[in-house]
Amino acid sequence: MAIQLNKREKFAVWAAGAMIGLFVLFHWGVFPYLESHKRWNRQIEAKKVALSEMRALKAEYRNLKQLSDHSRSRIEKRGKGFSLFAFLNDVSDKVKIKDHLTYMKPSTIERKGIPYKIDVVEMKFSNITMQQLAQYLYMVETSGKQVFIKRSSISTASRKKGGYLDVTLLIETVG
């Protein structure tokens, strides 16, 4: 039972078959390939961005590690018996303002999750000159012993005139 078709009908059947074939080819072949190609390109771009971020983080980590190693070596250089209290007392003696030292309050701060402690000394000087203060601060900050001025409060001395200051300092170091 073969169906007899004329040329025009045969052409229409072949054209319809070709259209269905092309539809199937594009629907299950070309379009999925193009979508996967786009997806791969997006993934490659995302990986490039992630790689550049990782490189930036690596450089930042290297810098922080270098700073950490430098700080650790400076802390180790100051010796096992280093005492912030004694160090500050010695510096005030060298600057000749020990007689103006009203009080020194040492304390230690320990935070959870941090393997080291922070030694803190609050000191108050009365009736010192700006030059003495500058010399004291310079000697503390440039000592190479990882000692830092955390806070300072400076006011004019009420009892004396002539540029004298009352100074309260909060000085800390990693212990």
pLDDT digits (tens, 9 = 90+) for 28-45: 888 899 999 999 999 999
Q: Would you say residue 105 has pLDDT above 70?
A: yes
Q: Evaluate if residue 115 carries a pLDDT over 90.
A: no
SS3 of 57-123: the string is: HHHHHHHHHHHHHHHHHHHHHCCCCCCHHHHHHHHHHHCCCHHHEEEEEEEEEECCCCCCEEEEEEE
Assess contact for 157 and 102: CB atoms under 8 A.
Answer: no
Residue 76's pLDDT band (boundaries 50, 70, 90)? confident
**pLDDT for position 159:** 63
Report helix angle 130-141 to 84-94, nearest 10: 140
Q: Tell if the pTM clears 0.75, that is, is over it.
A: no
